Amino acid sequence: MAQRSIRFRIRPDGRVDEVVEGVAGDGCQALTERLESRLGTVQQRKPTAEAFLPAVQKLALNQQSLPIQGLALDPLT
């Protein structure tokens, strides 16, 4: 048994970022194609290995509160 996950981020302007997690099988491909036919034009497509980590890092940054970012910027205080 393998778990297939697809993570979507729907931005306020309606653009959709899609990340297929794990090793994508035929199921992910079918869902991806079904979605893309209804949603619209693919602007960008990258292999997950490159794309997934930066997406997670960006997500983590967005969720951090300001004091934590300040701490990270000035670790000596």
- Binding residues for another protein, per CB under 8 A? 1-25, 27-28, 30-32, 34-52, 55, 59, 62
Closest C-alpha among 58, 27, 33, 63 to residue 45: 33
Nearest CB to another protein, comparing residues 9 and 71: 9
Nearest CB to another protein, comparing residues 66 and 76: 66
CB of 57 to another protein, least distance (A): 13
Contacts of 64 (CB under 8 A, 6+ apart): none
Cβ atoms of 42 and 18 within 8 Å: the answer is no
Nearest CB to another protein, comparing residues 62 and 77: 62
